[in-house]
Chains A and B, each alone.
Chain A
């Protein structure tokens, strides 16, 4: 069965906040998953499947290149490893801290896990969970996103900044000031822009990743809690928890559309021509068609959905 099965390729790098680069390859298929904190489940939403019990309080999830998903359980100091295709929980790593944001190294060997109350990012072995390194960042690290060069961006929620970490040396090489309460991050497919959703100041910042300077800001209002970018880089999608909407902007940060979704939308992810929005209060995921910019389905999931991840599998 696994013989003919697809080889998994590098997928979206971060849960709940980020769309991965569009993948080349024949017949690449994507599978989208959401974690539900109260429901303690991982639910496949595309293609839809039965919820998988994963243990208490999963908050964020990231996809690895090998078909595995890595889930952070903030309140029980654990990171779990789930095989996406089978739903098997393969391992539960203890984590000495309050794990939240998570990203997977492109080669699948290392995990980067933010320690919310510890103000640091820890590198773990994806195989064993052993600590391989650590770097201090700002206060309350929230979203993490890793680029193709091994540079990690960290939303330091209580420090009004994004920390930039060189993962080869696990050193912080810079910080970029942003709005108040930065939570979610997303890179565009070209990886020359980083978008930062600021929960408290209710705005979105764009950062030039070459110069590490701010190059744009859009005032959105409400509480922007998730951000993702379409596969062509032309659309930036931002959830607004207060309004229960998904705001769609163009690459110049001009408004394109506002799409009503469920209550308290949080994570958003893009897979192909669709976006998926985790409606935290409504216990559902909204499916958005990116060409018509309309909601086409609302799928019930476990209670309290937050982060999403996209696994990509390439058929040879």
Chain B
């Protein structure tokens, strides 16, 4: 069974959810965990993925991404998704030696992703002659109350976050292996 195509899923969501709600983080986090192997050295993968704000060069769901304040802790990216939602994300850690970075969402935009907050880490490690890229995170459902509507539940958040990460990694793999644009 496949996940929803995220564009379809997010379009459905956008129709039912007010876009400007700023939500607090709830009490019960959920995991998102995706990985991919890429037939290229970690250095080559990092060259593509290691510039935080350059996500628009490899993520197929991203329309554009603007850098704010550089590629180190404290730096940010303002991502506009193809569904029209935006993600304002800030870097907490950036390590060019171990090929990993960690970041978090600032304010929720339920039009972008049906979650109220998240933090995530992307890591590139050697895997045989190639690389493995892990993208994992911790998020809170879109409605953090005790009776969330279905489209803002833990399950909806899991589906959307896993799809967003999986699509991204697929795009990254295609870009690095094929050298082609997303």
Contact = CB atoms under 8 A, between A and B. Distances in A.
A154 B146 CA distance: 21
B93 A116 contact: no
Contacts of A37: 28-29
Interface string B25-60: 111110101000000000000000000000000000
Interface in A203-252: 221-223, 241-243
A163 to B, nearest CB: 16
Interface in A16-39: 37-38
B28 A158 contact: no
A158 B26 CA distance: 10
B136 A59 contact: no
B138 A280 contact: yes
A77 B145 CA distance: 11
Given A75-B146, A221-B93, A223-B104, A116 B27 contact: yes
Given A117-B144, A117-B145, A281-B138, A157 B93 contact: no
Contacts of A98: 27, 145-146
Contact of A157 (B25, B102, B136): B25
Given A98-B145, A263-B136, A243 B25 contact: no
Contacts of A281: 31, 33, 136, 138
A75 B31 CA distance: 16
B28 A223 contact: no
Contact of B119 (A59, A221, A242): A242
Nearest to B101: A242
B88 interface: no
A202 interface: yes
A157 B92 contact: no
B119 A241 contact: yes
Nearest to A97: B146
Nearest to B31: A281
A200 to B, nearest CB: 8
B100 to A, nearest CB: 10
A64 interface: no
A222 B93 contact: yes
A140 interface: yes
Interface in B92-147: 92-93, 102, 104, 119, 121, 136, 138, 144-146
Main SS of the interface on chain A? loop
A112 interface: no
A57 B28 contact: yes
Given A242-B93, A243-B93, A281-B138, A74 B31 contact: no
B119 A223 contact: yes
A264 interface: yes
B73 interface: yes
Given A221-B92, A241-B138, A140 B25 contact: yes
Contacts of A263: 121, 136
B138 A264 contact: yes
A138 B26 CA distance: 14
Contact of A280 (B29, B93, B146): B29
A28 B146 CA distance: 40
Contacts of A74: 26-28, 146
Contact of A75 (B25, B28, B104, B136): B28
16 contacts: A75-B28, A98-B146, A117-B146, A157-B24, A221-B73, A221-B92, A222-B93, A222-B102, A223-B104, A242-B93, A242-B121, A243-B102, A263-B121, A263-B136, A280-B138, A281-B138
Nearest 8 interchain pairs by C-beta: A242-B102, A74-B27, A242-B92, A116-B27, A100-B27, A158-B24, A222-B92, A74-B28
Interface of B: 24-29, 31, 33, 73, 92-93, 102, 104, 119, 121, 136, 138, 144-146
Given A117-B26, A117-B146, A221-B73, 19 more contacts: A59-B27, A74-B26, A98-B27, A98-B145, A116-B26, A116-B27, A117-B145, A140-B24, A202-B92, A221-B92, A221-B93, A223-B119, A241-B119, A263-B136, A264-B138, A280-B29, A281-B136, A304-B29, A304-B31
